[in-house]
């Protein structure tokens, strides 16, 4: 984990974001020797169908997986909630 100042972030934003995205680095931002933020790669996500694909045992057929996915969404919208709001 690299620690940089807020001024360094301002001057080198593109380079720092590229390192986070391509190398998976976590960067800590400090202002007046106090940690104020961290920049880290986004979590990788996958759909339920992707998660079930490639299983060695036939737990679900493609039709069953599609049905399960549809049923698991009953009562939920497609909107993503912001956990920080």
pLDDT tens-digit profile of 24-56? 999 999 999 999 999 999 888 888 778 777 777
Label residue 10 by pLDDT band (50, 70, 90): very high
| 0.85 surpassed by pTM | no
Write the CB contacts of 19 (distance below 8 Å, at least 6 apart in sequence): 25, 27
Note the pLDDT of residue 4.
96
Please list the helix, strand and coil fractions of the chain in percent, rounded to the nearest 5, in that order: 40, 20, 45
Give SS3 for 30: strand
Question: Taking all residues of the chain, what is their mean pLDDT, rounded to a whole number?
Answer: 86
Q: What pLDDT score does 48 carry?
A: 77
Q: What token pair was written down for 33?
A: 């020797």
Chain center to CA of 58: 29
Residue spans per domain, the chain = 2-39, 44-74
Percentage of the residues of the chain whose pLDDT score is greater than 70 = 94
């Amino acid at each position: 984990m690299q620690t940089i100042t807020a001024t360094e972030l301002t001057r080198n934003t593109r380079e720092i974001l590229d390192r986070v995205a391509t190398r998976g680095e976590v960067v800590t931002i400090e202002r007046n020797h106090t940690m104020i933020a961290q920049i880290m790669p986004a979590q990788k996500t996958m759909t339920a169908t992707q998660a079930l694909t490639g299983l060695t045992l036939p737990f679900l057929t493609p039709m069953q997986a599609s049905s399960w996915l549809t049923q698991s969404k009953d009562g939920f919208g497609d909107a993503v909630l912001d956990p920080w709001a």
